[in-house]
C-alpha cells in the first residue's frame, strides 16, 4: 500500500513538473495575442484537414509576406494549390469510403440485434419501426401538412436533432426523408413511432457533412400530432 502511494506521489510530481515547463508567453499587447491566435488557427485548420506543415517554412513564409517577398511565381503558387486540392480530395474520398464501410457494417449488426426485440416491426415495404403509441386518427397523404415532433439519433444513442423539448414543427409529408415518408403512409394521426432507418431511407451514402456520416443508420422518433 505504501509502495502504491509512493508511485502515485512520484507520478503526480512528474506530471506536475511537466505541466510547469509549459509557460504561457508574455503577451504584452493585442498585437502579440492576435499573432499567436493567427498562428494557432492557421495550424489547427491545416491539421484538421490532414495537411502536414513544416513550422520553419511556415515562419519563413510569414516573414516573407510581411516583407512583401514571395519565393514562388504566381504560376507556381497556382500549381501548388491545385496539387494540394487534389491531395485533399483523395484523402477525403478515402475517409468517406472508410466511414461508409464502418457505418454500413455497424448498421447491419444493429438490425440483427433489434430482430430479437418482439416489439420491432419489419414491414414488407422495408420499413423497420417500433410503436411507442398507436393513434386512431387518419393516415396522411403525401401532399398534406402535419404537425409533428421529431427526434433524430445515431444507433449508439447520440442525439443529432430534436423538437420534443422545444416546439412541434409543421412539415409537408413529401418533403421529409424517404423513411419518414414511408412511415406516414401507414402511421395513424396521434401515433408516436420509432423508426430504424438504413442510409437508403435516410441521408444516403453521402450523409450531411458535420452532422451525419456517410452510410449512417439512424433512429428517427416521430410524434404525429395532427394533420393541418
- Which tens digit of pLDDT belongs to each residue from 165-218? 999 999 999 999 999 999 999 999 999 999 999 999 999 999 998 899 999 999
Question: How far from 33 is each of 27, 30, 112, CA to CA, in Å?
Answer: 6, 5, 54
pLDDT at 6 over 50: no
Do 202 and 213 touch, CB atoms closer than 8 A? no
d(CA 214, CA 228): 34
The Cα 192–Cα 40 span in angstroms is: 48
Neighbours of 122 (CB within 10 A): 13
What's the pLDDT tens digit per position in 48-84? Answer: 877 888 988 888 888 888 888 888 888 998 998 899 8
Phi and psi torsions of 135, nearest 5°: -85, 175
What number does CATH give the domain 111-227? 3.10.50.40
Q: Per-residue pLDDT for 4 more than 60?
A: no
Specify the pLDDT at position 2.
42
Every domain of the chain and the residues it spans = 111-227
Yes or no: say if 193 and 220 are a contact pair by the CB < 8 Å rule. Answer: no
Model confidence at 1: pLDDT above 50: no
Cell numbers describing residue 74? 504566381
- Cα distances (angstroms) measured from residue 17 to each of 4, 26, 60, 144, 160: 20, 20, 33, 67, 41
- Please give the torsion angle defined by the CA atoms of residues 140, 143, 148 and 154, in that order, rounded to the nearest 10 degrees: 100
- In the block, cell 423497420 appears at 128
Q: Read off the DSSP letter of residue 137.
A: S
Q: Which three cell numbers stand for residue 98?
A: 472508410
Q: What pLDDT shows up at residue 17?
A: 45
Calculate what percentage of the chain has a pLDDT beyond 70: 90
Cβ-contact 199, 106 below 8 angstroms: no
In this predicted structure, what is the pLDDT of residue 25?
81
If you search the block for the grid coordinates 441521408, which residue do you land on? 203
**Tell me, what's the pLDDT at 171?**
94
Amino acid at each position: 500500500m505504501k509502495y502504491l502511494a509512493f508511485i502515485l506521489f512520484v507520478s503526480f510530481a512528474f506530471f506536475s513538473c511537466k505541466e510547469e515547463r509549459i509557460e504561457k508567453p508574455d503577451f504584452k499587447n493585442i498585437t502579440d495575442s492576435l499573432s499567436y491566435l493567427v498562428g494557432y488557427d492557421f495550424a489547427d485548420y491545416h491539421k484538421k484537414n490532414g495537411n502536414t506543415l513544416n513550422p520553419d517554412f511556415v515562419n519563413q513564409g510569414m516573414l516573407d509576406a510581411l516583407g512583401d517577398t514571395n519565393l514562388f511565381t504566381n504560376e507556381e503558387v497556382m500549381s501548388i494549390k491545385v496539387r494540394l486540392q487534389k491531395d485533399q480530395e483523395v484523402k477525403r474520398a478515402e475517409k468517406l469510403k472508410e466511414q461508409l464501410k464502418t457505418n454500413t457494417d455497424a448498421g447491419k449488426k444493429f438490425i440483427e440485434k433489434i430482430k430479437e426485440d418482439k416489439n420491432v416491426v419489419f414491414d414488407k415495404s422495408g420499413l423497420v419501426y417500433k410503436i411507442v403509441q398507436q393513434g386512431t386518427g387518419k393516415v396522411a397523404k403525401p401532399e398534406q401538412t402535419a404537425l409533428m415532433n421529431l427526434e433524430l439519433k445515431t444507433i449508439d444513442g447520440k442525439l443529432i436533432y430534436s423538437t420534443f423539448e422545444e416546439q412541434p414543427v409543421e412539415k409537408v409529408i413529401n418533403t421529409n426523408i424517404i423513411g419518414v415518408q414511408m412511415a406516414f403512409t401507414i402511421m395513424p394521426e396521434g401515433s408516436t413511432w420509432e423508426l430504424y432507418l438504413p442510409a437508403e431511407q435516410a441521408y444516403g451514402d453521402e450523409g450531411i457533412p458535420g452532422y451525419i456520416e456517410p452510410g449512417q443508420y439512424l433512429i428517427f422518433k416521430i410524434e404525429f400530432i395532427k394533420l393541418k
